[in-house]
Amino acid sequence: MRLKRWVVSALILTVRHCSEVGKMVLDRSIDVGFISKPSDRDELESDCAVMDELVPIAASNHRLARRGKVNSEEFRNEMLFVREEGSTTRQETDRMLQECGLTESIAMEAPAIRPSRHRS
């Protein structure tokens, strides 16, 4: 009986900004990339794999916690912790805050997500 040979490969996960992921796909340093919004580059083909949503979180003893829906006025005096400028999450957060007139609410920015790596 002859056994089939299987190629052993490693899966490496790296977190990068979506524009950098597009460059990596184009220069073939990676085979496939996952980005948080459709690519605007004609050389890349993209398709939606997953939909997500941004939701606010607070400590369980915060005055707005466990209230269900909270309107934008109730956020007026709250200081927010957000992602770093340039990230898609930050762009969406800034857009939502601006629509609600809450552009001065940001107290702290998180640095980029630390890249993770897994080898199998």
Q: What is the pLDDT of residue 3?
A: 62
Instruction: Give CA–CA dist 9/70, Å, rounded.
Output: 48
pLDDT tens profile 75-106: 888 888 888 887 888 888 888 888 988 877 77
Instruction: Give CA–CA dist 8/54, Å, rounded.
Output: 37
Per the DSSP assignment, residues forming a β-bridge with 82 are 109
Predicted confidence (pLDDT) at residue 119 exceeds the cutoff of 70 = no
